Amino acid sequence: SAVISQKPSRDICQRGTSLTIQCQVDSQVTMMFWYRQQPGQSLTLIATANQGSEATYESGFVIDKFPISRPNLTFSTLTVSNMSPEDSSIYLCSVGDGLGTEAFFGQGTRLTVV
């Protein structure tokens, strides 16, 4: 299994500002993903963080709004840019085991935009 640490665990931000969320894994992993869980809703995949190349975004998510970095196999960041109250959500980092048989999740970052 993988242990995932996310920082910050929660934050309250002013609209128009940006927040960068960090995800650190205790072992090297091939697959890293970022999800969003809006209040009372399910998880939606934002993007796959690719090491050494640009992230792969899902429909409805764009790099200008959610820039992602993946400098190595144990670390990734997600930035929520130019925030609005609609961005209030829990953002989760996830890693895969490379076989598709399990995914591990961080504890999430609870973001509130005021």
Partner 1 sequence: AQSVSQHNHHVILSEAASLELGCNYSYGGTVNLFWYVQYPGQHLQLLLKYFSGDPLVKGIKGFEAEFIKSKFSFNLRKPSVQWSDTAEYFCAVNARRNNDMRFGAGTRLTVKP
What's the min distance (Å) between Cβ of 28 and partner 1? 15
Please say which residue, 54 or 102, places its beta carbon nearer to partner 1. Answer: 102
Nearer to partner 1 by Cβ, of 83 and 93: the residue is: 93
Minimum separation from the CB atom of position 71 to partner 1 (A): 20
- Give the nearer residue to partner 1 in terms of CB position, either 14 or 42: 42
Residues in contact with partner 1 by CB under 8 A are 31, 33, 41-45, 48, 92, 94-103, 105-108
**What is d(CA 68, CA 60) in angstroms, rounded to the nearest whole number?**
15
Note whether 50 and 70 are within 8 A (CB). yes
> What's the token pair of residue 17?
């500002």
Min CB(111)–partner 1 separation in Å: 15
Residue 33 CA to residue 60 CA, distance in Å, equals 16
